[in-house]
Structure 1
Amino acid sequence: MSSITLNPSEPSSFKCFVRMSTTKNAPTTVTSPPPSFARKTVLITGASSGIGLSFARLLATLQVSHLILAVRSMQRGSEVAAELKKTFHNTKVDVYPLDMSSYDSVQDLVRRCDRLPQLDIVILNAGLANIDYKTSPSTGHEEVFQVNYLSTALLSILLLPVLRRKCKDNRNSPGRLTIVGSALGLDAKFPNRNAVPLLPSFSKPSTWTGLSSSSEQYGVTKLLLFVLVLRLAEMVRPEEVIVNLVEPGFTGSTGLGRGASGVLKSVVAIVHKLVARSPEQAAWTYVDAIAMRGAETHGSFVCNWEIYP
């Protein structure tokens, strides 16, 4: 069953967090036997660091044929590509530029993908969490809202028909569009939900009063991804493209908390060391969502290797 068909529950990011801290490693059904990505073309956004980088390395070990790294820093992306090519000679690796704060960059990436002979799997991993208020220079929107929701939504909508056309074996293996979400969306208060117009209300500096406000902004962008995935799933049949949302778990070394300082930085470091998944462990949640799951996850939130209501 998909998330939309399950009975209502009392969702809580804390419950998810407790589960994550006790289930860091993938179940044996995911890791043994491992899936193969031979003859598959996979696009990963935010692939030069954190979970995205670990996932790229993991795909290479799983025999992916063509790996496309969509990154903000072409220099860093090229370094990762060189590392992968040196070790995995049978994997073709390309690096495409992607600035998630720019609509032009998002559309340019889609045009590049549309020229590919094949595209089977897309995982939208790029994300952002800021402690302080910042705006995207090219759009004027608050940066976290721009990257985590607006640009992710645009990229998803534009890539969906590309996946439908370019997946070479969708009769037996549908295309896959997996967006990286977060259980923090389950606790978002969404105080501006009745604002008219709605979109500008996410970018008001007056709503930022510290850590609690930045946490709420991050959470509500992830909440909006739940809605996005449900609507995208209505736009395409699972026989063509399976669309789902995956929670990688509380993970260290991702760069999301890089804006923290002082005592907060020390607390984050301690919590990461005690209970966080490694990027390698988190990368297996992506494998589960795109390779070990089928049409039952269409329009669903996959958390801790199960469909979450």
Structure 2
Amino acid sequence: MARVAIVGCGAMGSVYAGLMADAGHEVHAVTLWADHAQAMAREGIRVSGASGDRRARLASASTTTDGIGVCDLAIIAAKAYDVESAAQATVPLVGAGTVVQTIQNGLGSPERVALHVPASRMAVGIVGGYGASLVEPGHVHHNGREVTWFGKYTDLPDEQLAQSADIWRSAGFEVALHEDVQSMVWKKLIMNVAYSGSSCVTGLTIGQIIHNPDAWRIARACSEEAVAVAAALGIDLGLDDPIGHVRHLGGRIPDARPSMLLDAIAGRRGEIDAINGSIPRLGAPLGVPTPVNDVIVGIVKARESRLGQG
């Protein structure tokens, strides 16, 4: 049994927490959603969907990391724009043998985590094909578990990286470890770029985007721009057909609504800057045109500018 903390226990983090707790690990859930924390502390966490339907008791559920102590594994699952504050909250959980896995969409999060957590303790995680959503406080649903990948951020010992992966495997996750972290991250990014912004502006599920010619034209162009930026950066995606890869993985979870769409529906800020916004930000100095991502970012940010205005 391992002692595990999930810092940023929203929809995705709750899937991790519930399945790890159900496997017998001591799991501590930390979330900014007070009603979710209260429900989990009172009744445990219910996980339904692709992994079945179960309710698991947690060691604790709170809005802070106070009192948890040093963990074997600390998973930072906060949104990209909250990752630095989550990293600061994770510091008391880190000891000499702790592995800190940071799992966010888009680019730039590991670098911000490393401002607070020793780089030698860190692993970078990529997950995909989950389609997780919070049904109600204390209950999370997911549509699949297609990708769960990790790689060392710098010089985390191989043995400790493997041990952290084994915690996931014991809870039913299929985990792959990657040497080329940049390639790993960009394989996920080209999929996020395709579906996140396009779902947010259209309101469509991933399957609806794939099968709607107009929506797919937008999603495909966003991903093609990302592939072009990756090539200009010298990143080897290791994919003969990157767009076919994006369409195939998306087709595995047709009913999923990307987190950026769910955030928009809930009136919350999304991760547009870290996902679609990263493509023009990196493409401009390289001379790679990114007009479709530029437009998607502009539309989403214009919508978000109204948040809090009633």
Shorter chain as normaliser: what TM range?
0.3 to 0.5
TM-score normalised according to structure 2 size: 0.39
Q: Which has the higher contact order (CA 8 A, sep 6+)?
A: 1
